[in-house]
Every structure is written in structure tokens, then in C-alpha cells.
Amino acid sequence: MRAHTKPFRFWNNQTPGKDPVPCQIYGPLYYVGSRQFCAYALDTQDGLLLFDTMDKPSERLLARNVQKLGFSIKNVRWIFNTHYHFDHVGGNAMVMDRSHATMFIHKKELKRLDIGLGPGRFSKKHRVRPLRGSEILECGPIRVRVVFTPGQSMGSCCFFTEIDGPQGKKRVLVMGDASGFKSNKREMRLYGYHGTDKDYMKTIRKMKQFVFDLVLPGHAHQISLETRRDGSPWITRKEWLSFLNHRLAEMKSFVAEYPDFNQLIHS
């Protein structure tokens, strides 16, 4: 498959611009997302694994990006979704229509998929496997460890895996939006749930213990604007803790501003 020598960097996705060219991140791991929404492909040597699939309008871009790298949507065997929001599961049905892929998402997100995707996007022939949030799954020779990290949504999960590349084996954290909190009323009304704040506090504490070499966010700005200016996904422990502390402070100030916080939210 096509290899790139330039190190992979996230960009500032808050300013307008073109979608990035799909490219290698490290070893068998590739970026196949858009400017706004991240999606990753992992070549397991026994089929392709996708982490999140962007929103529905981006499904053609996803298919094109996978193809540009020399792979095929037909060969996708696993889709891991960090959570049910529209910008993370939008391409799932397209991928499952064209392949024999199974999608994995936390069991608490299953009922909410229609909110993320619009109703009726899945049929009986689609293979959906609920996650408990603490399992290790074998995907060909690759192992994916699932960690339950609710807050952003009630069934958000992070994924850990290990991949081999030119600098040896590296630990990868796919964090989706688990570190994120909806710090405005509109989004909180749409996506919040009773107990979001408590779940989120616990999740941040859990995430502080995470050990990894390479972090993959749900949106580029989580790295480029909030963690490291150069957008490198190879962040230090200090940068990780400072990112999480900043996110936590954001959440605490929102809750302090809205003491009737739970009233804002649909159950």
C-alpha cells in the first residue's frame, strides 16, 4: 500500500479548507476522514478495520479515500464506533451494504442509533454487535481493547490497539470525543442525558490513567488547537494531562453557569 514519508499531522479544522488527502499515519494505520470528521482505517492483513465513519454525506468521501489508498470497502470486516453521534456512524450502512463488515458499538448506544443516523438506516442483514465496554476483540491478528468512557454520550467507548511500524510496536488510543463535553445549551439539549456531568468526571479520571504512544481524536482540533500546535498525534503525557484538565475546566464552568444543568437535558 502507498507509504508516505512525511509525518502525519492534524490540522486546524475550524478554518475552512479542503479535505485532507488520505494517508498513512503509522504502519498499517491510515487517515480516511474529512477535514471536520475523523475516520481511521487499519489494515489488519486479514481485512480492513474502520474506526468511525464520519457523517452520512461523507460516505462517498470515505469510500473514495479507502480506494485511493489501494484498499476496498468490500474488504472492510470490522467497524468500531466510538459513539452514536451522526458524525461518527454516518458511513456505517454504506460500508455494511458493500461488505460483510460487522459494526461494534456500546450496547447503550444501540437504541440511539436512529438519532445519530436518522430512522431506518439499518436492516436485518446488517451485523451489529453490542459492546460491554471492557472486552478485548480479535480482529485477525490485531487485538482491540474496549474501554467504557461515557459522558459525551451514555455509551461512548475508547479503543486501544497495538500496531507495528518502522519504529517498532506502538500503542494506539482511539479516543473519539470521549474527552469532550457539550459546553453549550443547544448541544446539551440535543445530546445530553441525566448524569452526563457525573459520567464525564469519572471518564476524565479514567482517561488520565491511559498510557499510549499515539492518540487519534474524533475531530482534528482536539489535537491541533487543544493539545499540540504542530498537530502531531504523538503527544507526551504532560500534553495529555493538560488537554484533559482544560476539558474538565470547561465542563465545570458550564455546570457552574447552569445550576439547573439537568433541567436542560432530555432524559
- Residues that bind Zn ion in the complex, under the rule CB under 5 A: 87, 177, 218
Residue closer to Zn ion (CB basis): 43 or 87:
87
Minimum separation from the CB atom of position 267 to Zn ion (A): 22
Q: How far is the CB of 43 from Zn ion (least distance, A)?
A: 24
Only one residue has cell 476496498, namely: 72
Q: Which is nearer to Zn ion, 19 or 213 (CB)?
A: 19
- Going by the DSSP 8-state scheme, the letter that residue 112 receives in this structure is G
Residue keyed to cell 454520550: 153
Angle at 108 between CA 60 and CA 118, to 5 degrees: 35
From the CB of 20, what's the least distance to Zn ion, in Å? 17
Give 154's Cβ-side CA count (13 Å radius): 15
Shortest Å distance, C-beta 153 to Zn ion? 10
Closer Cβ to Zn ion, 38 or 73, answer by number: 38
The C-alpha cell that represents 88 in the structure block: 461518527
Q: Shortest approach of Zn ion to residue 164 CB, angstroms?
A: 29
Please count the CA atoms within 13 angstroms of the CA of 90 that sit on its side-chain side. 19
Distance separating alpha carbons of residues 50 and 191, to the nearest angstrom: 24
Cα 64 to its chain centre, rounded Å, is 20
CB 216 within 8 A of CB 80: no
Q: Nearer to Zn ion by C-beta: 39 or 95?
A: 39
Closer Cβ to Zn ion, 113 or 142, answer by number: 113
